[in-house]
Structure formats: C-alpha cells, structure tokens
Chains A and B, each alone.
Chain A
Amino acid sequence: MAKATPNVLAVTGNEAVAEAMRQIDPDVVCAYPITPQTEIVQLYAQLVADGKVSTEFVTAESEHSAMSAAIGAAAAGARTMTATSSQGFALMWELLYIASSYRLPIVMTVVNRALSGPINIHCDHSDSIGGRDSGWIQIYGENHQQAYDNCLQAVRIAEHPDVRLPVMHMYDGYVISGAIGPLTPLEDSRVREFIGPYQPVNPLLDVQHPVTVGPFDGLHGWYFEHKVAQNLAMERAYQVLQDVADEFARLTGRQYGLIDPYRLEDAEIAIVVVGSTAGTTRLVVDQLRAKGVKAGMVRVRVFRPFPYHTFAQALQHVKVVGVLDRADSFGAQGGPVFLEIRAALYDNDPRPQVLPFIYGLGGRDIFPHDIEQAFGVLDEAAKRVRRVSTQRRYLNLRQGRGLEHERK
C-alpha cells in the first residue's frame, strides 16, 4: 500500500487526539471537562457544532455520568468514546469495571494527571495506573504522534471479535497534552478504511433479539466463569495488539510493538519507563553510549495486558534494570511498573537485578541529570558481586515539609 503523503502539523497532544476522533467519527461521545483533558471535549463540541462529525455529543454532569452514558450507548450498539483525567478517572471507577465486564468496546483517552490530594493538576500516572485491574486494555503513548496513532488503533483493538474489551490510551498531561509537537495525520479516507464499520455484538437496539445486560447472576451463577472469560480475552489481546500494530505499520510506516526498546541488544544496564520521559531517557542513553557505557532503555507501550513474556526475553541479558515509576503503590515493594517487571523476570536465569525508582509525582520535573543519576545507580550495582538494596530511590526529591519527621 502506498504511504500517505507526509503532511506534518504542529499541534497539541489534545488537538492530535481530537483530530483522530474527528476521523473516527464515533456515534456517541459523552464527556465531562477536567484539566488537562478539557481541550479535547471543547474541540469535539466545536466539531459537532460545525457539522464536521455525525456524533451525538453528551455533556454529562460528572464523569460518573459520562461513563454511565458511554456504557448505555455502547450497550445500545453505538461506537462510543470518552476522555478524562485524574479525579475524573477516579470518579469513573465503579463504571470501569462495568464497561469491561459487559465487554463493551468503549475507547477512552486518559490525559495523565496526578490524583489529589493535595490538589495537583500536573502529570503523573497515578490516575490510569490505578485502573490497571479494571479489565481495560491500557496503551501508553510517548508523544503527539503516538497519542493520535494509539487512538486510532484502540478502536480496532477494542472492537476486534477476539477481544471486545474497552481500551484506554494515555499520554502525559501538559508535557504532551498542552505542548505543541509534530503530527503526521492520515487522510480521512485511510482512517475510515483502517477503522472500518462497527459490528456490535448483542446490541440492545437489535429489537428482534432482545437481551438483558448485567442482571443479578443469582447466588450460584456464572460470575467466576465470566471473570475468567475476561482474562482469556486479555490473553488473546496480545496477538490482536500486535496484528493491529502491524497493519498500521503497513499503512503508515510507523511500527509499534507491545514494548518499545532502544539500544537494548547489548545493554548491561537498562531503564524501563512509561510515557514522555522515554524521550529524555533516550537522550541520556545516547550520551552514556558515547562515553562507552552499555546503557539501554525500554518504554512500556502496553501495560494491560502486561507483556511479561516479551519483557523477560528483552531484558534477559541485562545485568541491572532500573524501573522508573511515575506513580507509587503505597506500602508495596516498589512502584506498579517495578512490581510487574520484577515479577516478569523471576523465572529468568540468570535473573537480572531490578531496582525501583520513583520520579515526577505531581509533575515534578525530570531532567537528563536525574536519569543519569539513575543510570549511575544501575552501573554501580552492576559492578558489585552482591545484590544491592531494592529500597525505592527517588529522583529530584526535595527535602523539607516534614519528610525528615516521617523518616524518624
């Protein structure tokens, strides 16, 4: 297939996603505004008003209602999308589980923002990471182009007959959502071809075949089996995620995988990272390589289903792996991505060391020298014979505000 004519636009991450949504032209969009997602809602409202899309646009009175309305619309058989951030995501909580267990292929954009409190509007991943067990497929983008590309692919993945699960795709608040970056969009016709028409399964609007959605399952019902079925769909999703990515690559030349490695083949130390910080990490990897340090990186693209096999293979030869988490799991051994990576490598022989780093909570800046410092820790550990402590290490943490007191 011929490649689309290159046509690079300068857009914010939210504009990139609004453009993808315009091209997808879903039947229903239900949303409630919240910083830093708001721009998407507003741009989409304008598209609806200008008659550029045929979508029914619902301005709900909260995210709880927005997701409820999305579920209603999807159950009726509509291709449905929504978007949120932070507290809005948290308020959707109850319904996230409903959407996935009803096997409704809703696509949601999550613009990552820290959860309160105290109130904070900047980027970290505590919102979407907290939804990791809700049964949604989770895809993380790094930049503007990926926000757009993931949004398009999400529709295909969600609606695939082997999957039929809701998909959320993420990108960093402000860093990507509000900053301007390059976007090479596809032509409308190509998007339409790629997405294809939607064939809902058991829609409520099929009045010849009435169905009941989500009733009480009885005391000795099939709840357990239902949950296992959800997990089986997650397992099938690995293949679908890759197939859709391959098809997308044939269309655009942009190849995606479950993970996104960089200079990893011969790396002795490597960092695992999610989101826009991957860009900064690549820069540091190049600098270290120039100095002869065998540094590498992997970006987590798909977090659910977690590609543990792929990670186990990709990191097999690495001596020490540092995992950079932009969310914490209070009281756990380390951040959520750390836990996954450490578990994924357990059966490896030899087993790489895995060290937890926490960074960027509430939008704290992360500089190349912070990442360099993390690589320094990994390098140091790689030279030791014995394993080093797996206590959390914090990057760019300030002192004060009672921290000393808490440490007593």
Chain B
Amino acid sequence: MKTPTETTTRLRRQTRARPKAHPHDHLLRTDRMPHIWCPGCGIGTVFGCLLTAIEKSGLPLDDIAIVSGIGCTGRMAGYLNLDSFHTTHGRAIPFATGLKLARPQGTVLVASGDGDLFAIGGNHFIHAARRNIDLTVICVNNLNYGMTGGQVAPSTPFGARTTTTPVGNIEEPFNFCSLAAECGATYVARWTSLHARWLTDSLVEAMTKKGFSYVEVLAPCPTTFGRRNRLGSGADLARFFHERSVIRNGIDPREAVLDFEKHLVVGKFVDSTRPTFLDNYELVRRREVGEWPFREEHTPHTSGRAHN
C-alpha cells in the first residue's frame, strides 16, 4: 500500500484539477470512466452509497482496500481510487482474507455479485463467516449472472426466467442472509437499492464493526433479469423491490424471506459480537486457549450467534 501522504496528495491534486468535480470524484478513478454499467442498473446506486459510507465512516482512506470478484458488480474495485484488487471469479473472499491477515489494521471490503459470492465462490463465503474474519462483504443481488448475459444464479427465484432457464427456474434459491447468520456472521443486513439512506448507514456500521459483516442489496438488472421477466425499466424494477419490501429489524434471518409475490424482508437482522479469527489467533499464539475440551469457566470463543 502507498503511504498516507502519497495518496492524499494524489487525491487532492486530482480533485483540484477539476473545478466541477463530482462530490465523490476523489474516490473515483475517473480515468476509467465511462463505466460499463447499463442505464438503470442498480449497481451504480449501491456504489454511490458505498462511496458515501466510506467518507462517513471516517476511516483513513489509505487503510481501506476493496476486493472484487468477476461480474458487473465486480467492476466496483476497478473504479475506486483506493487500493483495489480485481480477482478471479469467486475468489474475492480468499484474496481479501490474505490481505486482512497480512495487514490486520486495515479495513478490507469485498464487493461482488450474488453469483460470484454464492455460486462459484460459495465455499469461501461460508468459511470466512465461520472463522469470523474481519471483512465487510457487500453483495449486489440482482437475481442472476448479469455480466455473462443473465443466467440462473443461486439467488434466482423459483420459476423466474433467465437465459439458462427459459421456461422458469426449477431450483429454489438461497436465503443469503440466513446462510450468513447460520455460518456465524456478526453483522447481517439487507436493503433494496432504493433504501439508499438505510443502506449507507448499514455500510458504515458494517465497515466500522469488527468481525464478518454481510450487507446484501436487492438491485435491478433491467438488461437481463428485468427484460427476461418483463419487469420493465431499471426504475420499475427498483420500485417493484421497494414496494414489496417490509423492514423487520432484528427478525430471525431464517424468517427474512424474499417472497416476490408477497413481501421482501429487509432490515438489519444480526448485529452481535464474538471473537474474530484474529482474536482467537492471538489467544492461541499466546498459548491462552487452555486444554480442550474446555471446562465451564474457560470457554474462550464459543459466544454463539445471537440474532439481535
């Protein structure tokens, strides 16, 4: 990573050179613009919220890194004027894990798609949550593989049409929030892309919280998912999600279902604490774990998963 002064000077110089800069210009790699996202795509909104959250968090920019996998959402890393990693499909979390362990004082964000995080990369997600690695994972859930032309994903609702399920999906999707909670994530929230304020607040909380945080955003992909299912423009889709959403903060994530006929449960479902991977690592390193099986009085890391 660069030294703080180097980055700050670079950022200042860039901002000064553009008198009419976008308020977030210093966080953007404007040399990479125009971006690839389609008009009406929800990723842009999520990206905007992320930029705001990064600023609001007050975290030193030099100590934030962002890691993405492959996909439309995966392009986020390449557009941010921070240390960023555009990895391979499905491997954002293991890359981020390495980064975090090598530089524990830094804040490591992972931003990727539903396919990247839960299909090809699903295994890494569950283990990172189980280990409680201090990462913030942001998933843009657009219900399909957007980048490759809208194929079925583990988020695609039963019966929905995609290019690989032309007459309707025969599989049941995951409830990612429930999965994250079951695996041990200590912060779990879900919003739609129209819940910009809530989403931004959640992102700030997730970033500044120690432990594995998961923030999911239901976002429109009008170009593939929307078109295949005749759901209209990006705005129509965003409204479709928003109108059906019900906020249920603190609800058991297993009940935080996405039922597109009735309601889409959003809110903050988990905000708990338990020792992170690095906390326990420190314990073991200092030989303070005691002898397994532990006695009642000495259970260093079994805090369970409070869904509150």
**Residues in A lying within 8 Å of B, measured CB to CB:** 32-35, 38, 41-42, 45-46, 49-50, 59, 61-62, 87, 91, 116-117, 119
Report how far A32 CA is from B149 CA in the complex, Å: 12
**Interface set, chain B 264-305, CB cutoff 8 A to A:** none
Report how far A38 CA is from B150 CA in the complex, Å: 10
What are 18 A-B interface contacts by the 8 Å CB criterion? A32-B120, A33-B148, A33-B149, A35-B148, A38-B149, A38-B151, A41-B164, A45-B166, A46-B166, A49-B167, A59-B152, A59-B165, A61-B119, A61-B120, A61-B122, A62-B120, A87-B70, A119-B70
Report how far A317 CA is from B165 CA in the complex, Å: 56
Interface size of B by CB at 8 A reads 19
Closest A residue by C-beta to B161: A49
Chain A residues within 8 Å of B167, by CB = 49
Query: If the complex has contacts A34-B148, A38-B148, A116-B88, are A61 and B163 also in contact, measured as CB distance less than 8 A?
Result: no
- How would you classify the secondary structure of chain B's contact residues: helix, strand, loop or mixed? loop
Chain A residues within 8 Å of B86, by CB = 119
Report how far A117 CA is from B149 CA in the complex, Å: 22
5 nearest CB pairs, A to B: A62-B120, A61-B119, A49-B166, A45-B164, A33-B148
Report how far A46 CA is from B167 CA in the complex, Å: 9
* B90: Cβ under 8 A from any A Cβ: yes
Closest CB of chain B to A8's CB: distance in Å? 28
Report how far A42 CA is from B151 CA in the complex, Å: 8
Are the C-beta atoms of A87 and B164 separated by less than 8 Å?
Answer: no
* B225: Cβ under 8 A from any A Cβ: no
Q: What mask results when residues 139 to 157 of chain B are scored 1 for a CB within 8 Å of chain A, else 0?
A: 0000001001101101000
With beta carbons under 8 angstroms apart, the residue of A45, A61, A91 that contacts B165 is: A45
Report how far A119 CA is from B75 CA in the complex, Å: 11
Are the C-beta atoms of B151 and A59 separated by less than 8 Å?
Answer: yes
Are the C-beta atoms of A42 and B154 separated by less than 8 Å?
Answer: no
Chain B residues within 8 Å of A42, by CB = 149, 151, 163-164
Report how far A49 CA is from B168 CA in the complex, Å: 9
Closest CB of chain B to A80's CB: distance in Å? 18
Closest A residue by C-beta to B149: A38
Closest B residue by C-beta to A47: B166
Closest A residue by C-beta to B168: A49
Are the C-beta atoms of A62 and B148 separated by less than 8 Å?
Answer: no
Report how far A33 CA is from B89 CA in the complex, Å: 12
Chain A residues within 8 Å of B148, by CB = 33-35, 38
Closest CB of chain B to A222's CB: distance in Å? 33
Chain A residues within 8 Å of B89, by CB = 87
Report how far A117 CA is from B88 CA in the complex, Å: 9
Closest B residue by C-beta to A37: B148
Are the C-beta atoms of B164 and A33 separated by less than 8 Å?
Answer: yes
Closest CB of chain A to B157's CB: distance in Å? 15
Chain A residues within 8 Å of B166, by CB = 45-46, 49-50
Chain A residues within 8 Å of B122, by CB = 61
Chain B residues within 8 Å of A41, by CB = 151, 164
Chain A residues within 8 Å of B152, by CB = 59
Are the C-beta atoms of B88 and A87 separated by less than 8 Å?
Answer: yes
Chain B residues within 8 Å of A46, by CB = 166
With beta carbons under 8 angstroms apart, the residue of A45, A50, A117, A119 that contacts B163 is: A45
Closest CB of chain B to A91's CB: distance in Å? 8
Report how far A62 CA is from B117 CA in the complex, Å: 12
**Interface set, chain B 195-241, CB cutoff 8 A to A:** none
With beta carbons under 8 angstroms apart, the residue of B88, B90, B164 that contacts A59 is: B164
Chain B residues within 8 Å of A35, by CB = 148
**Which of A42, A46, A117 counts the most chain B CB atoms within 10 A?**
A42
Closest B residue by C-beta to A45: B164
Closest CB of chain B to A50's CB: distance in Å? 8
Chain B residues within 8 Å of A50, by CB = 166
Query: If the complex has contacts A33-B149, A38-B149, A116-B88, are A61 and B154 also in contact, measured as CB distance less than 8 A?
Result: yes
Are the C-beta atoms of A62 and B165 separated by less than 8 Å?
Answer: no
Closest CB of chain B to A92's CB: distance in Å? 12
Chain A residues within 8 Å of B165, by CB = 45, 49, 59
Report how far A33 CA is from B116 CA in the complex, Å: 12
Report how far A248 CA is from B295 CA in the complex, Å: 75
Closest A residue by C-beta to B164: A45
Report how far A70 CA is from B153 CA in the complex, Å: 19
Closest CB of chain A to B77's CB: distance in Å? 11
